[in-house]
Amino acid sequence: MRSVAVIGLGKTPFGAFPDRDLRSLAVEAGEKCLHNGNLAPDAVESFFLGNFAGPSFVGQNHLGPYVSSALGIRGVPSTRIEAACASSGSAFYHAWTEVAAGVNDIVMVVGVEKMTSQTTARTSEILAAAGDCAGEMKAGNTFASLFAMIARRHMYEFGTRKEHLAAVAVKNHANGALNPDAHMRKAITMDQALAGKLIADPLNLYDCSLISDGAAAVILAPLERAREFTSKPVRVLGIAQASDFVALDQKDDITTFPAVRRAAEKAYRMAGVSASDIQFAELHDCFTIAEIVATEDLGFAPRGQGGPYAFEGCTARTGPRPINTSGGLKAKGHPVGATGVAQICDVALQIRCEAGARQIPRHSLGLAQNLGGSGATCVVSILGEA
């Protein structure tokens, strides 16, 4: 397999944009990305579109060529991948596969979601389709209630406290406040985080990520060709996608995600690094408890200790291993199909020393973890300086 590099990246701001449609967001991110990688559309040899629920949110399907043709990319394979909230992480994995295996040299990935045109009730229903609709969702669950059960069990097993969850929210809001592209640029206090409106006990409003519109894009190329396009290539050192049951009730233990552990193990092995080598990460904080569990499953914190690990500041921007310097899904926003590629962009921006006010000093080896549903899909990517 060949070494692969990210040679271009582009993002829209994340937020609620009533006057923007899905395609215009995807095209904005794609055009910024082509410009960033100094590439014309006809240089792209293969195109992947990560999108969770365009047909349900905006009534448009067949989104691969729908977006790529609008970018001026025609003729080449153009494929939409759907893997719930890990849709564009998975698209990135398959794009990497094509370049690493020598199938294509220049492969583009765009992730997009347009969510804010629906009512909250309809949005919850659309999101629920990432879980087991005939089982856990028919029984009355929402994603908030599934992650509330995970949080409750984590509290019972390990003594995790609401203050631990709130610490994740406070940190990610602080980071988001420094990110000009974040959906919510508002720092909050621990008292505010603890006093949020209850959504699904023990999760309150500040434990939940945002419903957002947005898009993100990257272009991949063989590392040996990367400097034809950019002076700042970012190397993909390790990557893996893994799967598990969709329904939470089929799992033996809901306080850990086997798909995350498996993807991490494979990605670490490919990169030749261990968890302790990772300097910073973008993790899938769809709910605060998800970031806590991820820090454990990735080996950053010991099992059961993800809560104190966050509470003690280990994951702060100024701490030993910053997590979600972008603001994460919690503050940057979570346009579902865009999230996986946006995480790659945010890790790459740190590595390229282009993260502005949220730039961290140790930024040569970062990780992105993109989770689908309540853990049925996970993609872990490890990026480093080229």
- Catalytic positions are 85, 334
**In the complex with a copy of itself, which residue's Cβ is closer, 76 or 273?**
76
| Minimal distance, residue 133 CB to a copy of itself, in Å | 5
Q: Which lies closer to a copy of itself via its Cβ, residue 73 or residue 331? A: 73
The CA distance from 204 to 202, in Å, is 7
In the bound state with a copy of itself, the residue whose beta carbon lies nearer, of 108 and 169, is 108
In angstroms, what CA-CA distances link 132 with 135, 138, 168? 5, 8, 28
Provide, rounded to whole angstroms, the least separation between the CB of residue 257 and a copy of itself.
12
According to DSSP, residue 189 is labeled -
Identity of the residue, 38 or 56, whose beta carbon is nearer to a copy of itself in the bound complex: 56
Provide the minimum distance between the beta carbon of 366 and a copy of itself in the complex, in angstroms, as a whole number: 22
DSSP class per residue in 106-168: -EEEEEEE--TTS-HHHHHHHHHTTS-IIIIITTT--HHHHHHHHHHHHHHHH---HHHHHHH
Closest approach, Cβ 245 to a copy of itself, in A, equals: 5
Sole residue written with tokens 């990135």: 92
Shortest Cβ 342–a copy of itself spacing (Å):
19
Chain residues in the site for a copy of itself (CB under 8 A): 1, 21, 47, 52-53, 55-56, 58-66, 68-69, 73-84, 90, 93-94, 97-98, 100-103, 126, 129-134, 240-246, 250, 258-259, 262, 372-373, 376-377
Nearer to a copy of itself, 237 or 260 (CB): 260
Burial of 130 (0-12, 13-18, 19+ CB in 10 A): buried
- Answer whether 11's CB lies under 8 Å from 217's CB: yes
DSSP of 268-304, one letter per residue?
Answer: HHHHT--GGG--EEE---SBHHHHHHHHHHTTSS-TT
Half-sphere exposure of 192 (CA within 13 A, CB side): 11
